A and B are shown apart, each in its own frame.
Chain A
């Protein structure tokens, strides 16, 4: 039996774990099934780095029962789950059905439809810059750190926020200010907070046992950025980050409610204890 593989090293896996890798060479005689079965092929990415395509017809706890096109004829095989890194199904419909996506979404109350932009490091800074530039009604920021920074993207973001605040847009920044915050960070934070405040940005701080580690930016009533990146040069140019931009009004309302709760617990600059 021979299956066309994009990389031939699977043979090593077969030798290494013969008891688990039983490729049932069940030849099918029903050639009439072939056109429909191979219409939208599923792709297997195996743990040995190779990949191949086939049509998964059933899944058990141990194997994917898969119809595979060989050079001579189609055949049914059992692909052990333990040889597989991941499978990309031939269609989103098949993925939804086989992965139970709708049931999982319901169980976890993920009910709000959204379009999502996945944003690794540089893309995040650029996307935030574009979003604040086009903000019409509000920019709310929850940040672990705030500082003007020397990175051009960060400067551009904050410059836009300040400019919009001066023009009357609702601009709010809530940041962390623990009592044990090292002095250089404390000074940089307060100095920049003062600068923002002078431009009409409302700046408040959390100063309690719990640390504010959220990194959230809410723009207008439908756009939410959140993820791992702080609004710093590190966050948009150096560290390996992953963030999302979620466009959904109901999602933004949930975020807004959380920010209002944080705001109630926060203090203005002049009430901070050092």
Chain B
């Protein structure tokens, strides 16, 4: 087991060993030996569980999430024994009733134990036998669904070549492929998916963790090849499956992500099961996961120069003109030195910020400058956010100049990408000069400056949870300066933003170009820059 933290399962193991005298052996990863997790291993040892910390040769890790019970049943899948796996994530656990498979797992455990050390916790203590202690009764009806498999094969990694020898022919002849893969970086597997997508229906759901850095470019390539890529993005929950269904019959699952490290460096298990019934269950599960996920960016790189006719004439004529295009060769953060002031201050913790914010906006005379990391989704029931929006729109109607720069995430998988574009569209129509920051610079500030003299600085994002004070503990300060400080405007106005804000199409085009630039490097980047220059 790679990671154990579930209180119920730790207690069950302790109880099996200490109360019922059942032999319990745990092989785990060196990640469990860190300060944070050692107490769990110590507790197991105290109750007589034999704990071994196993590290594969090289830089790999023991990444299993499997158990063998009584030499008869194998429990395996993507789920670590953690509360996040039990309660929040998309995971799978298979209970395989097969003495033959169980034997293979036990033999593997014996093999890898050679690369392990007994956990150096306190010596096992004698725990009194308590037959009536808290041992959970087996459930009358097992959760989940039953299916039989005609045939199964298990691979224990490192075994990348053996796995690919069996998996690639199946993929290459497939008509349908449904994959839920937490991480996918193995070049050969990705190339194969891209190749088959022109003839087969290929659906791939990945976790948001896969949609970052270089992963973004790789997934774009898969999308461009016809793979239906979606990404799962939720706070505190992961799409943690490593499962693939081929032609509604073959199920591949286990602990291994489709990465070279997993297949050739870690200790992992990969199961291949031939079972239409099981395939149906997994496809249903993937349907549910896909329904909660976001489609991958469909926008292709558009190298044509911006066309004025695409500018939205509904935008308020009193907004400053925007454009021309962003300077694509200068995409870094603009440093700004510290500056001083004197004035009156008050501390605004939690729910005390929003009323002060509203008052500042309501009494604004000339200008409002805002730099904001999170401006949450427009929801039907978000009264605290709605009040702020109404105040801003009223200030714009009075003639107050409002400049708002919002964070642009590096990836479309981040929901803020769409939310901030939505706000830009709505608020620019209301005469508010919303700009989107460059996706190359994480704009993380949460600041509002009114009339160059009244300032709120702090940790409050403009989300309902923060503004209401109900979901997040936050701290901000209200500062009323003794006079105006023009550097406050200079600071916010000098944050680099997307230049062309004339219409959603135009700013999306620039953001897409910037993301392509970030993902490309070396000669490809130079070529792209040259193309952009020629398009001007």
Q: Could you tell me which A residues sit within 8 Å of B by CB distance?
A: 16-17, 45, 47-49, 59, 61-62, 80-89, 91-93, 95-96, 98-101, 104-105, 107-123, 127, 142, 144, 178-183, 186-187, 189-191, 194, 206, 209-216, 224, 226-229, 234-235, 238-244, 246, 248, 251, 254-255, 258, 262, 270, 273-274
Q: What are 14 contact pairs spanning A and B, CB under 8 A?
A: A47-B320, A48-B321, A85-B489, A93-B483, A95-B483, A99-B484, A100-B365, A110-B346, A117-B340, A183-B80, A240-B445, A244-B457, A255-B347, A258-B475
Interface members, chain B 414-452 (any A CB < 8 Å): 437, 441-447, 451-452
By the criterion CB–CB under 8 Å, are A243 and B36 in contact? no
Query: How distant is the Cα of A110 from the Cα of B352 in the complex, in angstroms?
Result: 13
For the complex, is B287 an interface residue (Cβ under 8 Å from A)?
no
Query: How distant is the Cα of A181 from the Cα of B88 in the complex, in angstroms?
Result: 11
For the complex, is B195 an interface residue (Cβ under 8 Å from A)?
no
For the complex, is B237 an interface residue (Cβ under 8 Å from A)?
yes
Residue of B nearest to A180 (CB): B236
Which residues on the B side are within 8 Å of A84 (C-beta)? 366, 401
For the complex, is B482 an interface residue (Cβ under 8 Å from A)?
yes
- Which secondary structure characterizes the binding site on chain A? mixed
Which residues on the B side are within 8 Å of A117 (C-beta)? 338-340
For the complex, is B99 an interface residue (Cβ under 8 Å from A)?
no
By the criterion CB–CB under 8 Å, are A119 and B481 in contact? no
By the criterion CB–CB under 8 Å, are A116 and B335 in contact? no
Which residues on the B side are within 8 Å of A93 (C-beta)? 483
By the criterion CB–CB under 8 Å, are A119 and B346 in contact? no
Interface members, chain B 334-385 (any A CB < 8 Å): 335-347, 349, 356, 359-360, 363, 365-367, 371, 373
By the criterion CB–CB under 8 Å, are B453 and A99 in contact? yes
Query: How distant is the Cα of A62 from the Cα of B365 in the complex, in angstroms?
Result: 11
For the complex, is B116 an interface residue (Cβ under 8 Å from A)?
no
Query: How distant is the Cα of A111 from the Cα of B347 in the complex, in angstroms?
Result: 10
By the criterion CB–CB under 8 Å, are B453 and A142 in contact? no
Closest chain A CB from B161 CB (angstroms): 29
Which residues on the B side are within 8 Å of A83 (C-beta)? 318
Which residues on the A side are within 8 Å of B483 (C-beta)? 89, 91-93, 95-96, 101
By the criterion CB–CB under 8 Å, are B445 and A242 in contact? yes
By the criterion CB–CB under 8 Å, are B337 and A120 in contact? yes
Query: How distant is the Cα of A126 from the Cα of B484 in the complex, in angstroms?
Result: 26
For the complex, is B472 an interface residue (Cβ under 8 Å from A)?
yes
Chain A proximity mask over B14-34: 1 for CB below 8 Å, otherwise 0: 000000000000000001001
By the criterion CB–CB under 8 Å, are A114 and B453 in contact? no
Residue of A nearest to B484 (CB): A95
**What 19 new A-B contacts, CB under 8 Å, besides A118-B457, A214-B473?**
A47-B401, A61-B398, A86-B452, A88-B486, A89-B483, A92-B482, A95-B453, A104-B454, A110-B478, A113-B345, A114-B345, A118-B488, A123-B337, A183-B82, A211-B473, A214-B349, A235-B444, A239-B441, A240-B443
Q: Which of A120, A190, A228 contacts B373 (CB 8 A)?
A: A228
Q: A47-B319, A180-B236 are in contact. Are A89 and B371 (CB under 8 A)?
A: no
By the criterion CB–CB under 8 Å, are B31 and A127 in contact? no
By the criterion CB–CB under 8 Å, are B482 and A96 in contact? yes
By the criterion CB–CB under 8 Å, are A214 and B335 in contact? no
Residue of A nearest to B238 (CB): A182
By the criterion CB–CB under 8 Å, are A48 and B320 in contact? yes
By the criterion CB–CB under 8 Å, are A213 and B472 in contact? yes
Chain B interfacial residues counted at CB < 8 A:
92
Q: A118-B487, A187-B34 are in contact. Are A274 and B83 (CB under 8 A)?
A: yes
Q: A114-B344, A228-B459 are in contact. Are A86 and B401 (CB under 8 A)?
A: yes
Which residues on the B side are within 8 Å of A248 (C-beta)? 345
Query: How distant is the Cα of A93 from the Cα of B482 in the complex, in angstroms?
Result: 8
Q: A86-B489, A118-B339, A229-B444 are in contact. Are A210 and B36 (CB under 8 A)?
A: no
Closest chain A CB from B329 CB (angstroms): 19
Query: How distant is the Cα of A120 from the Cα of B486 in the complex, in angstroms?
Result: 15
Q: A178-B236, A228-B373, A228-B458 are in contact. Are A101 and B481 (CB under 8 A)?
A: yes
For the complex, is B97 an interface residue (Cβ under 8 Å from A)?
no
For the complex, is B328 an interface residue (Cβ under 8 Å from A)?
no
Which residues on the B side are within 8 Å of A82 (C-beta)? 318, 399
Closest chain B CB from A167 CB (angstroms): 24
By the criterion CB–CB under 8 Å, are A99 and B365 in contact? yes
Query: How distant is the Cα of A88 from the Cα of B486 in the complex, in angstroms?
Result: 7
Closest chain B CB from A38 CB (angstroms): 19
Chain A proximity mask over B309-322: 1 for CB below 8 Å, otherwise 0: 00000000111110
For the complex, is B298 an interface residue (Cβ under 8 Å from A)?
no
Which residues on the B side are within 8 Å of A274 (C-beta)? 5, 7, 40, 82-83
Residue of B nearest to A115 (CB): B342
Interface members, chain B 450-497 (any A CB < 8 Å): 451-454, 457-459, 465-466, 470-489, 491, 495
For the complex, is B84 an interface residue (Cβ under 8 Å from A)?
yes
Q: A86-B452, A110-B344, A115-B340 are in contact. Are A240 and B482 (CB under 8 A)?
A: no
Q: Which of A61, A179, A209 contacts B471 (CB 8 A)?
A: A209
Query: How distant is the Cα of A84 from the Cα of B465 in the complex, in angstroms?
Result: 35
Q: A17-B318, A95-B484, A194-B35 are in contact. Are A108 and B445 (CB under 8 A)?
A: no
For the complex, is B333 an interface residue (Cβ under 8 Å from A)?
yes
For the complex, is B37 an interface residue (Cβ under 8 Å from A)?
yes
Closest chain B CB from A126 CB (angstroms): 8
Query: How distant is the Cα of A107 from the Cα of B478 in the complex, in angstroms?
Result: 12
For the complex, is B3 an interface residue (Cβ under 8 Å from A)?
yes
By the criterion CB–CB under 8 Å, are A88 and B344 in contact? no
Query: How distant is the Cα of A263 from the Cα of B41 in the complex, in angstroms?
Result: 29
Q: A49-B320, A191-B35, A213-B459 are in contact. Are A105 and B489 (CB under 8 A)?
A: no
Which residues on the B side are within 8 Å of A118 (C-beta)? 338-341, 457, 485, 487-488, 491
Q: Which of A17, A85, A89, A114 contacts B317 (CB 8 A)?
A: A17
Which residues on the A side are within 8 Å of B446 (C-beta)? 227-228, 242
By the criterion CB–CB under 8 Å, are A239 and B365 in contact? no
Q: A49-B320, A82-B318, A183-B3 are in contact. Are A122 and B335 (CB under 8 A)?
A: yes
Query: How distant is the Cα of A59 from the Cα of B451 in the complex, in angstroms?
Result: 14
Query: How distant is the Cα of A45 from the Cα of B339 in the complex, in angstroms?
Result: 21
Which residues on the B side are within 8 Å of A98 (C-beta)? 365
